Structure 1
Amino acid sequence: MSVVQWPHRLLTLDDWAALPEDPEHRAEVVEGVLVVSPRPLFFHQRAVNRLTWLLDEQTAAVHSAMGEAEMVIDFSPLTIRVPDVLVTAAALADENPARVSAADVLLAVEVLSEGTVRTDRVTKFSEYAEAGIEHYWIVDLDDPPSMITYRLVDGEYENFGEHTGKVSLDFEGTPIPLDLDALTTRHAQRP
């Protein structure tokens, strides 16, 4: 068993990049402090995989959806969030970056899980708005599965709809049909 040597200061980007991969935990950095949580359960992972694929397939060709990609909110003190799904420019994704800047993110999606509800609804809600991310969607997998869509208006998120079942959402002028009930079922929705 190896022992990780933690720095005796707030984490820097170099410290973050040097951390070992950990398949059992998810990690983010908030104002230089490492925040670690257990990996989410299967339904959460299934929903994230499906949303990533559906958004990647259905958004305009100039966009690309990525699951669990690192997003830098701020460098000093370092804040790196890992949204469940984010959408950025396809040209940027094609560069294969280690992480993206929040300024390059058009949409962030968080799927609520045990232990993240307050973070996703309060902390990330305000961080993402402050960072200028235009669209923020929160998915709740509790029965019935639902989604709240927010859009940045004058620096604040406004609720653009609360959805259940089959929905068609507008993203950058492109309709995105989603079946929220199918996010955790064995057979994925087909566009």
Structure 2
Amino acid sequence: MTALPEPRRLLTIKDWLALHEDYQFRLELQEGSLTMAPSPEPEHMLAGLDLGSQVRDQLPPDLVAVPEVDINLELAGEDEPATVRRPDLVLVRRSELQRRKSEGGILRASGVVAVIEIVSPGSRRMDYKVKRVDYADAGIPHYWIIDLDSPVSLLPLSLTEELGYVDNGEVTGTYTTTSPCPLTIRLDQLG
């Protein structure tokens, strides 16, 4: 097991890349500080798998659905305290995957078109408040929040230049959109 760095200074993206994750919890980096969350519950993981399956088959060739992957939000320079998030699912441009494969590192927010977070009991405030601001600041065009409490709901947020994310109203049952591409998600089939 790799030892966690001592909290003597804020971590940069280079520091993050030097960490090797073999922990029993999820790590993210928020303005240079490591944050930890417990591993998701089975229902959360099943909902994520179901969501990924539904979305994957509908994506155009230039987009890919990637579950639980680190994203450099690019909110700071290379040598400044970084912010790295690990959303439940991201829709990313295929060209960004190719860039990462050839250059190394992690995916960058500039290649992400949508981030989807599934709310956990301990993540509600983080998902609805903190990450909403972070993803908007990173310029990610779409942020969707899925709440598994009955009835399962999705809150689709779209980025505007003037207002940040605009709340498009919570949806239950079936969610249909044309942006970032045509998609239909059966929320009642998650988990």
Give me the TM-score of the superposition, normalised by structure 2. 0.87
Give the structure 1 partner of residue 121 of structure 2: 114
Q: Distance in 2 between matches of 1:2 and 1:152?
A: 38
Give the structure 1 partner of residue 50 of structure 2: 50
Q: Distance in 2 between matches of 1:129 and 1:2?
A: 32
Q: In 2, are the aligned partners of 1:67 and 1:84 still within 8 Å (CA)?
A: yes
Select between 71-80 and 100-109 the one with higher mean Cα deviation.
Answer: 71-80
Q: In 2, are the aligned partners of 1:59 and 1:171 still within 8 Å (CA)?
A: no
Give the structure 2 partner of residue 85 of structure 1: 89
* CA gap 1:90/1:141 in 2 versus in 1, 3 angstroms: same
Pick one of 174, 179, 183 that aligns with 1:176: 183
Question: Do structure 1's residue 126 and structure 2's residue 138 form an aligned pair?
Answer: no
* CA gap 1:170/1:11 in 2 versus in 1, 3 angstroms: same
Q: In 2, are the aligned partners of 1:86 and 1:108 still within 8 Å (CA)?
A: yes
Counterpart of 1:132, as a letter, is G
- Greater per-residue strand proportion: 1
Q: Distance in 1 between matches of 2:182 and 2:93?
A: 17
* CA gap 1:12/1:133 in 2 versus in 1, 3 angstroms: same
* CA gap 1:161/1:175 in 2 versus in 1, 3 angstroms: farther
The one of the two structures with greater contact order (alpha-carbon pairs below 8 A, sep at least 6) is 2
Q: In 1, are the aligned partners of 2:51 and 2:190 still within 8 Å (CA)?
A: yes
* CA gap 1:62/1:36 in 2 versus in 1, 3 angstroms: same
Q: Distance in 1 between matches of 2:57 and 2:85?
A: 24
How many angstroms does 1:102 deviate by?
Answer: 1.1
Structure 1 runs (4+) deviating above 6 angstroms are none
Give the structure 1 partner of residue 35 of structure 2: 35
Pick one of 152, 160, 174 that aligns with 1:153: 160
* Structure 2: segments with no counterpart, 5+ residues: none
Q: Write the mapping of 1:67-106 to structure 2, written as runs, cut at 5 A.
A: 67-73=67-73, 74-75=75-76, 76-95=80-99, 96=101, 98-106=105-113
* CA gap 1:115/1:53 in 2 versus in 1, 3 angstroms: same
Give the structure 1 partner of residue 151 of structure 2: 144
Root-mean-square deviation (CA, aligned residues, Å) is 1.8
Q: Distance in 1 between matches of 2:133 and 2:64?
A: 24
* Structure 1: segments with no counterpart, 5+ residues: 185-191
How many angstroms does 1:53 deviate by?
Answer: 2.8
